[in-house]
Amino acid sequence: MNRKVIVTCALTGAGDTTGKSEHVPVTPDDIAADAIAAARAGASVVHIHVRDVETRQGSRDVALYREVVRQIRESDVDPVINLTAGMGGDLFIDPANPTEHLPGTDLVSGLERLAHVEELRPEICTIDCGSLNFGEGSQLYVSTPDMLREGAARIKELGVKPEMEIFDTGNLWFANVMVREGLIAPPPLYQLCMGIPYGAPVDPGLLQAMVNMLPDGAQWTSFAIGRDQLPWVAQSVLLGGHARVGLEDNLYLSKGVKATNAQLTERAIDIVHNLGSSVATPDEARDILNLEKKV
C-alpha cells in the first residue's frame, strides 16, 4: 500500500466533553492553538467547531469562528480548514407533548447554518446528510432533503467543498442522490461516521458495505468514536479511505491516558506509516480533493 492519506484532526466538537478532559479546547485562542499544534504534528486538515466561552457548549457565533480562522490563517502553518455547518439542527421534544420544543433546541434553516461559511469561505464545510435519533432520550438531529438540497446548492455557489457527513446507510443513499443531481462538485467527499447512537454501528462489515455504495471517483474518510477511534484509522486506510482523529470524538490516547489533539494526530500518522502509506501535506490534500485555496 503506497498512497497519500489525508489525516483530519477534529478539534473540539459540540459534545458535553469539556468537563471530562482539561485538554478539550474551548476559547477561540485555545481552539486555534490546537489547530496549529495538530498541523505542526502533521494533520492535513483541521475540522473546527466553536464553543460559547461562558457555557462551554457548542455555538454558531460567527465571531468565534472568525477569530479561530484568523489565527490559523495568520500562523506559520497552512492546514486545510474544514468548518462544521452541522450546528442548528438540534430538536428536543417533550414525549408527552411532542409539539413542544424543550430547552436545548437549536433548530434553524439550512441556509442559516451556513452564516459563518458565507463570511469566511473555508475550503471545506460539513453537511449532515440526514435526520437522526441522537442518542437516548428525546433529542433529534434534523436535516431534511429540502434543507440539504438548498444548503448544498449554496455551498457549491460559494466555491466550498462539502464534506458529506454520513451517519447511516440512508444518509449515504441521499448523498449519492445529490451527487447525481449535480449539487456536489467532483470529486464528492464523504465522511462515514461510525458509532454515534443511533446511526451506523462500529462494524467493519458495515463500513465495507458503505464503501461499496460510493460512486466512482469519490474521496472518503471514516472515523469511529471513543476507544475505537485509533483502530479505525487502520480500518479506514486499509479499505482505501482517509482518516480522522481528535478530541471531538475521543478523549484518550490509551486506557486511562488523556490525549491532546496533537498526540492523537501523531498516533494516527504512525498508524498510517506502519501500513505502508504516507500522509498528505495540506497542499497534497488540496490536490486530491480539488480544493480552491482560500486566502
Question: Can you spell out the DSSP letters for 143-176?
Answer: --HHHHHHHHHHHHHHTPEEEEEESSHHHHHHHH
Phi, psi of 163 (to 5 degrees): -95, 110
**Is residue 46 situated within a structural domain?**
yes
Q: What percent of the chain has pLDDT over 90?
A: 97
Peptide bond into 103 cis (omega under 30): no
Judge whether 109 lies within some domain: yes
- The answer to the question of residue 294 being in a domain is no
pLDDT at position 243? 98
Q: Is residue 295 part of a domain?
A: no
Query: Is 255 contained in some domain?
Result: yes
> Domain residues for 233?
4-289
Mean of the per-residue pLDDT values of the chain: 97
Q: Per residue in 15-37, pLDDT tens? A: 999 999 999 999 999 999 999 99
Q: Is the pLDDT of residue 161 over 70?
A: yes
pLDDT-wise least confident of 61-70, 95-104, 286-295: 286-295
Query: Comparing C-alpha atoms, which of 233, 274, 245 is closest to residue 43?
Result: 245
- Is residue 76 assigned to a domain? yes
With a CB cutoff of 8 Å and minimum separation 6, the contacts of 269 are: 7, 41, 42, 279
Give the domain CATH number at 97: 3.20.20.70
* Total count of domains within the chain: 1
pTM: 0.97
